Structure 1
């Protein structure tokens, strides 16, 4: 097979892979981020402690994560057909890819959020902040570098999943490698496909690591943590002032809005 014959195949396969991985990543973030945060909030000692709910969600996530992706695709064929009308093609592949990635990303989010300093959560609570304020002002911003790294890991995993999806007619680079590289003995095309996947994964990993390091440095210099500690330090002094009890009681609630 000549390069002029390979080029259109590789271009279409690369676009199909990016399409599947892109949409699956978006769905995984939308579904996995709140799920991971909920696992932290409902855990023992969490802001919304609920042991039963936490164990139920945790078991569902564990079972979904432990299932091999190729088996998950087969198990979800009926569900996929009910949504997309077919079980082959890139649109159909997005369904199992997203469902497989949501619990994976949720566990990564849970790990990232647990790393946030508990003192910052207490600082917001002492200033009258509710659970939503804690999540929006502390948990997500302070864990953002780790969340970026988690997203990068998820994208890389989804690229591998998409290659497996290609074996059952989903298209993409995995499909090219199997149909042409393996079944038709086009070894050169197969290795070109492998090289493209390696380059794409390396670029994604580099961009993700660079963004995570940049956010980490920025957070250390001008993030919410220093302001929260400063506001918490001022709160006791204000509350102990004589003759100004009413304004002091209102000050902490107003101070929460300054943390951003």
Structure 2
């Protein structure tokens, strides 16, 4: 029996022994006084077992038929193996007229090894990029918007050029924003002071990278800044993750 049913038997026993009134019992059980009287008749005529829930031991009316789970998992493996429970449920209902709740499907997919809970997924590890060997071989370029002059001036961007091999700050320039014009001036000043590197290493800012152009033609689809570097035979390498640009971000 459940705890609620045991409490009900105890209270009705006190009422039957005249140690408690029906009104008090109704308050303890959270029912009306008339309901207490009906329960007392059942308790006195059929005993304590009659107070148990009548549906105990019977299959649920909302149970899923045998074979539905296996059929749903089969469809998911064949067509929706890379889907999450929410989208897989929508496709099962839309294309196969199979209605299953999202949480039930999540449980099935987890037990079958198709879906892994977010907290159990392994974090993706990024292989650290090795630094270049020589000074000036590759230079990291980046910009940072900040109140560099506190309240004495407007918010601006600091353009920074960092040697990849040694981590030295080679050139700094304040600009109103990260724009092509100021990057041209900063790159010119750097080249005049330090010479030409083999490559500049940057993030995927629109100044350095464009999604247009042919993969077969290195010169097509370049930005203005990228076209200038192409004419100087300087490569522009765009980082694929924030971790790869950690050094430049830390310095700025």
TM-score (normalised: structure 1): 0.17
- TM-score w.r.t. the length of structure 2 is 0.17
Structure number with the higher helix fraction is 1
Q: Which has the higher strand share?
A: 2
> Whose Rg is larger?
2
